[in-house]
Amino acid sequence: MENSEINRLTQLLSDAKAVIKHQNSELTGLLESKSQELEEILGNIDQIIWYIDSQTLSLQYVNRAIGAVFGFTKEDFLADPTLWQKRIHPDDRLLVRSFFETLIPGASQEIRFRIHRVNGELCWLNSRIHHNEKLDLFVGITSDITQSKLQSEEIAFLAYYDPLTMLANRSKLKLQLHSRLEHSPLIPFALIYIDLDNFKNINDTMGHETGDQILIEVARRLRELVTHDQLLSRFGGDEFVVYLNSSDPIYIDNFCTQLGEIFKIPFTVHDVPFFLSASFGISMYPEDARSSEDLIKHADTAMHEAKKNGKNQFVYYHSSMQRAIHNFLHVESLIRDGLKHDFFELYFQPLVSAESLTLQGFEALMRLPHPTAGFITPDAFISVAEKNGDILHIGQIVLEQACDFIEMVRLNHPDPFYVAINVSAKQLHQVNFAHELLEYLKIRAIDPHYLKVELTESAVMDNIEIAGSQLHTLKEGGIHIALDDFGTGYSSFAYLAQLPISTLKIDKSFIDTVCEIDSHSHIVKAISNLAHVLGMSVTAEGVETEQQFNFLVENRIDTLQGYLLSKPITKEEILHNLTTFTPFFLPEKALVYSI
């Protein structure tokens, strides 16, 4: 070949090389710009996009999002392709490894695992991973689910634990009991229902923060008594329930005694000591019930019995308690019926002056004539209404009907007669009771002198501060106050002298036997003297015989009330008596009767 030819070919070759080189660099440039474009797109996605070698699991590619989740940069991960594995929580490493080992080629699957961020913080990840067999890669998209995971864990925690004391809650206990009954139905056990005594007072007077501190401390002390095969739960408020894996009464007695012991040491909050006690009710499986709901209910019933018996003690459930509850619920439903359909009706029992035998006024006594259950007397429904709070509603009806009655008398008779209404402790302890009562009279344009209020000794003495201020408001408003069932409570004479009370009503039990039991006749005389010394008047209720009548008149009792004079009667009967001037009472040797 000629030289010139060689030169020409060389030239051609070098030209071709130059072209190829140029094209190569163009292609590389294109590739680079494409990969930058891709990086730009992938880099702005929140999720981590990555692929790893399917044999070595070393990282080949990852977008920028990894930085925000792990706290390392993308470059850190590319420089050390196994760094991502080192950040996996040790407990989850096996899980991740076996996931990759079992991932079917061509398929996509999800996995959740934990990693540690650069600052050590734990983070939950969710990855969707595809095995690309052709390229021998695992390709994945990963997101940070810590927030939602924590939230759902928190929800799960809240569903079964009490956040204040960190004890199991009612649902958790029920769940445990259900599974306990399902798996070992032949093995007996016991539940103890614990309720702190008078805890409401602490909450009301010291505030909820102090209350919470005390509950936390109670929980701590209880926890120390409970072993791993028992369950202590907080039922809300100041109520706790312990599940005991035993039904041996000696063991349970012992356990309850220990429970009582933890309350002997005062509970100190901000250096203030609080003395608490608790009442315990016990139910046993299978004797008392076979379902967890009934067992809890019965333990609660027994706890209430412990409260009723004077608190600070433990009581075993007995089926007779259930009957009392049935009765309570029955009466409660009758009360609700009565309120709904306006069945309640006030009766009126005359109060007569012992000296002049003239009518002074009436005591208003509530009745519940029920169309199907019959005529229900207050002894059956007042205590239920006091417990469930319906007494407030009933009290309002009493006031309305008493005012109607006063209006009726005013229209039909020249003399003013007062009406004495009975007021329960619950009503009296309503802060606005006295003001609202006076306000109501004002609206009805009724002179407060026509209304008297009868309160029992205990209603007044149990909460002397509130009761005292209510009594003063009533007195200033012009309402007279009588202390009912006097002699059965524990009135302090010091208070008696200070409170604005105008009448002492001697309890019926003393009048019943005033002619038979010497001590009762002495008591009646003594109360009569006491009342007069204190400038009060005295009433005897339950006067049934002439003998009683004479004794009471002789001993300067001012006012008499009882079947001898008249039973409680309806408004219509009173109206009839008032307009026809028929005497209300007819003792055989009736003295002169006049209205």
- Figure out which of the listed residues 195, 238, 541, 558 binds ligand C2E, where binding follows CB under 6 A: 541
191 binds, among Ca ion, ligand C2E, none (CB under 5 to 8 A by kind): none
Compare residues 434 and 455 and give the one whose CB is closer to Ca ion.
455
**568 forms part of the interface with ligand C2E (CB under 6 A):** yes
Minimum separation from the CB atom of position 340 to ligand C2E (A)? 18
- Residue 288 as a binder of Ca ion (CB under 5 A): the answer is no
* Residue 485 interacting with ligand C2E (CB under 6 A): yes
* Residue 95 CB partners (closer than 8 Å, separation 6+): 111, 113
Interacting residue with ligand C2E among 52, 59, 365, 496 (CB under 6 A): 365
Contact 58, 79 (CB under 8 A): no
Shortest distance, CB of residue 505 to Ca ion, whole angstroms? 6
Task: Please say which residue, 282 or 406, places its beta carbon nearer to ligand C2E.
Answer: 406
* Residue 370 identity (one-letter amino acid): H
**C-alpha separations of 371 from 303, 330, 338, 368, 375 in Å:** 35, 15, 10, 9, 8
Using alpha carbons, list the distances in angstroms from residue 70 to 85, 114, 140, 333, 385.
12, 11, 16, 64, 64
Of residues 422, 470, 528, 561, which one binds Ca ion by CB under 5 A? 422
Give the per-residue contact string, 436-475, with ligand C2E (x = CB under 6 A; - = no): ------------------x---------------------
* In the complex, least distance from residue 332 CB atom to ligand C2E, rounded to whole angstroms: 16
Q: What are phi and psi of 521, to 5 degrees?
A: -65, -35
Q: Which residue has the tokens 């209006």?
A: 407
Other Cβ atoms within 10 Å of 124 Cβ, number: 19
Can you tell me the distance from the alpha carbon of 511 to that of 565, in angstroms, rounded to the nearest whole number? 14
Nearer to ligand C2E, 6 or 586 (CB): 586
Cβ partners under 8 Å of residue 444, min gap 6: 403, 407
Among the listed ranges 230-238, 253-261, 312-320, 374-382, the one in contact with ligand C2E (CB under 6 A) is: 374-382
Which does residue 281 touch among Ca ion, ligand C2E, none (CB within 5 to 8 A, set by kind)? Answer: none
153-168: string of b/e by CB count within 10 Å (b at 16+)? eeeeeeebbbeebebb
Total residues at the site for Ca ion (CB under 5 A)? 4
Measured between alpha carbons, how far is 368 from 482 in angstroms, rounded to an integer?
24
- In the bound state with ligand C2E, the residue whose beta carbon lies nearer, of 246 and 458, is 458
Q: Looking at 280-288, 300-308, 405-413, 539-547, which segment touches ligand C2E (CB under 6 A)?
A: 539-547
Q: Which residue's C-beta sits nearest to Ca ion?
A: 454
Q: Which long-range contacts (CB under 8 A, 24 or more apart) does 539-542 make?
A: 539/351, 539/482, 539/503, 539/504, 539/505, 539/506, 540/505, 540/506, 540/511, 541/363, 541/505, 541/506, 541/507, 541/508, 541/511, 542/508, 542/509, 542/511, 542/512
- Residues 555, 561: contact at Cβ < 8 Å? no
Minimum Å gap between C-beta 397 and Ca ion is: 17
433: left (phi over 0), alpha (psi -120 to 50) or beta: alpha
Instruction: Give the residue with the Cβ less far from ligand C2E, 233 or 424.
Output: 424
Q: Which is nearer to Ca ion, 165 or 422 (CB)?
A: 422
From the list ligand C2E, Ca ion, none, partner contacted by residue 424 (C-beta under 5 to 8 A by kind):
ligand C2E
Q: d(Cα 156, Cα 166) in Å, to the nearest integer?
A: 13
Residues 416-435 that bind ligand C2E (CB under 6 A): 422-424
3-state secondary structure 146-175: HHHHHHHHHHHHHHHECCCCCCECHHHHHH
398 forms part of the interface with ligand C2E (CB under 6 A): yes
Between residue 439 and residue 458, which ones bind Ca ion under the rule CB under 5 A? 454
Q: Please tell me whether residue 301 binds Ca ion under the rule CB under 5 A.
A: no
- Which tokens sit at 551? 């004794």
Confirm or reject binding of residue 379 to ligand C2E (CB under 6 A): yes
- Choose among 78, 86, 28, 30: nearest CA to 53: 78
Residue 379 binding result from Ca ion, ligand C2E, none, given CB thresholds of 5 to 8 Å by partner type: ligand C2E
Out of 484, 496, 531, 593, name the contact with ligand C2E by CB under 6 A: 484
- How remote is the C-alpha of 201 from its chain's centroid? 14
Residue 18: Cβ within 10 Å count:
10
What does 338 interact with, of ligand C2E, Ca ion, none (CB < 5 to 8 A by kind)?
none
Interacting partner of 382 out of Ca ion, ligand C2E, none (Cβ under 5 to 8 A depending on kind): ligand C2E
Q: Which residue's entry shows tokens 């056990």? A: 189
| Footprint on residues 8-67 left by ligand C2E (CB under 6 A) | none
Pick from 377, 436, 449, 380: nearest CA to 410: 449
Q: Given the complex with Ca ion, which of 301 and 503 has the nearer CB atom?
A: 503
Q: How big is the site for ligand C2E, counted in residues (CB under 6 A)?
A: 23
Element (H, E) at 51: strand 48-53
Using the contact rule CB under 5 A, the part of the chain among 170-178, 294-302, 420-428, 556-564 near Ca ion is 420-428
Find the binding residues for ligand C2E in span 491-530 (CB under 6 A). 508
When the beta carbons of 77 and 347 are compared against Ca ion, the nearer one is 347
Rounded CA gap, 92 and 85, in Å?
A: 10
> Toward Ca ion, which CB reaches closer, 241 or 425?
425
Q: Which residues bind Ca ion (CB under 5 A)?
A: 422, 454, 484-485
Give the binding site for ligand C2E (CB under 6 A): 349, 365-366, 377-379, 382, 398, 422-424, 454, 484-485, 508, 541-544, 561-563, 568
